[in-house]
């Protein structure tokens, strides 16, 4: 009788593949539990590796968390702010909000990870704040780009108003996403349309007021 066919062994993951599994698992665990309550053991279990393998890539839980903050934070800014095409204020608002909600739909754990309350660890909290401030600055730049020639918005100097609008926009969109995270039966298109309607109603009125004041 011919020898029995031996089952093929499981392919050994490369170091790069193990790293990607660790990053994906860590994003989920940090998103679900927060920095303080996340354990390297649970991250290792979800990644399908032993805990010691994580330390081959990251010296500590803090280093892993800091790397993910930088990674996901930069991706958020690039994909929902820097990727916006210059155009009319309404067009830019619609595109930016649409990109943001698409990103959340594609990677909800990354959003949850970034927008949980800042960790108590001072070093991690400082990086968290820097990333969020960079996002605010990026939205403020879009606001200024969309309003050339308007020196006052709502009676406030344009650059100051742009930062205020950016912070208000972030609060509104993140509040809506926080709700949507638990109510995914509502489509991304409907949530996006509602966010745009809310934000454009306020921003559009401010622009109308500013333009009326500029009219002779």
Residue closest to 175 by CA, chosen among 161, 157, 195? 195
135 has pLDDT over 50: yes
List residues bridging with 157 in a β-sheet: 152
User: What own/partner pairs with CB < 8 Å and gap ≥ 24 does 186-190 have?
Assistant: 188/101, 188/102, 188/105
C-alpha 113 chain-centroid distance: 8
- For the segment 190-208, what is each residue's pLDDT rounded down to a tens digit? 999 999 999 999 998 888 8
Q: Is the pLDDT of residue 26 over 70?
A: yes
Tell me what pLDDT residue 46 has: 96
pLDDT for res 186: 96
Helix (H) or strand (E) holding 191: helix 188-214
185's enclosing H/E stretch is none
Residue 13 pLDDT exceeds 80: no
- The predicted pLDDT at position 6 comes to 45
Query: Three-state DSSP class for 11?
Result: coil
In this prediction the pTM is 0.86
DSSP, collapsed to helix, strand or coil, labels residue 176 as helix
Task: Express each pLDDT in 56-71 by its tens digit.
Answer: 999 999 999 999 999 9
Find out whether 129 and 114 touch, Cβ atoms under 8 Å.
Answer: no
| Average pLDDT, integer, range 100-128 | 93
- Using pLDDT thresholds of 50, 70 and 90, give the confidence band for residue 14: confident
């Amino acid at each position: 009788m011919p020898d029995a066919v031996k089952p093929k062994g499981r392919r050994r993951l490369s170091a790069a593949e193990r790293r990607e599994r660790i990053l994906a698992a860590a994003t989920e665990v940090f998103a679900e539990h927060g920095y303080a309550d996340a354990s390297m053991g649970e991250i290792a279990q979800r990644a399908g590796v032993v805990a010691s393998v994580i330390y081959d890539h990251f010296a500590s839980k803090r280093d892993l968390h800091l790397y993910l903050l930088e990674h996901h934070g930069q991706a958020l800014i690039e994909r929902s702010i820097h990727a916006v095409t210059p155009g009319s204020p309404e067009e830019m608002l619609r595109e930016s909000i649409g990109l943001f909600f698409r990103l959340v739909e594609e990677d909800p754990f990354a959003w949850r990870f970034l927008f949980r309350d800042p960790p108590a660890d001072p070093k991690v909290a400082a990086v968290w704040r820097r990333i969020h401030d960079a996002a605010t600055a990026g939205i403020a730049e879009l606001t200024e780009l969309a309003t050339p020639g308007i020196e006052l918005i709502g009676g406030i100097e344009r650059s100051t108003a742009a930062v205020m609008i950016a912070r208000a926009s972030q609060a509104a969109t993140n509040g809506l996403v926080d709700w949507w995270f638990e109510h995914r039966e509502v489509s991304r298109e409907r949530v996006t349309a509602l966010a745009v309607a809310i934000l454009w109603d306020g921003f559009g009125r401010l622009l109308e007021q500013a333009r009326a004041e500029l009219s002779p």
